[in-house]
Amino acid sequence: MKAWQEEQVQLLLSCDSAADSFQRVTVLARELGFDYCAYGIRMPLPISAPRTEMFNNYPTDWQTCYQAQSYLVVDPTVAQGSRSTLPFVWSDELFASARDLWEDARAYGLEYGWVQSCRDAQGISGMLTLARAQEDLSASELRAKTPEMSWLAQTAHFGMARCLDGQAAAGSRGDAFEPGG
């Protein structure tokens, strides 16, 4: 493992909360050339209503729009990420069924994106999105950076799941636990 990767793993594993882990992921995303990132994670329990947490550094107005328009229900990146763990990039084709979402995202500076979902043996699933306003993801950039971006997706999943699963375990023991973080 590269020294850089070892250092980042240690930093992510030393985080005390999912919010701290996400802040570290945000720094790493910037180092990879992305202005924005998002991480959504779904815990398998409780079975009747699995807990979902979402973290992002998107513009606040975009977050408000996304919620007000209920875009989560029609977001094709969520649908694609639930079907496959292979990475993919945002495209007109991907967003063909959600033109309003695509147009609104672009209006808020979310022009180019890369996505990869993860699943683990505990049944926890997550999805990392890296996005930026400028410069399309070229084939050469994807060849050069996909290994690091995929590594970040896996490492972020491990770090975020560790923090959130620990919170859930604390809640099941009767310790103080607040849904949503």
pLDDT tens sequence across 58-111: 999 999 999 999 999 999 999 999 999 999 999 999 999 999 999 999 999 999
Quick one: residue 38, left, alpha or beta (phi over 0 = left, psi -120 to 50 = alpha)? beta
Mean pLDDT of 124-135: 97
Q: b/e map of 161-176 (b: 16 or more CB within 10 Å)?
A: bbbbbebbeeeeeeee
In the chain, the domains with their CATH numbers are 23-47+59-163 (3.30.450.80)
Mean pLDDT taken over the chain: 88
Residue in 64, 148, 149 with CA at minimum distance from that of residue 115: 149
pLDDT tens sequence across 63-77: 999 999 999 999 999
State the pLDDT at residue 4.
63
pLDDT tens sequence across 31-50: 999 999 999 999 998 888 88
Question: Given pLDDT bands bounded at 50, 70 and 90, which one contains residue 131?
Answer: very high
Asked if residues 18 and 164 have their Cβ atoms less than 8 Å apart, the reply is: yes
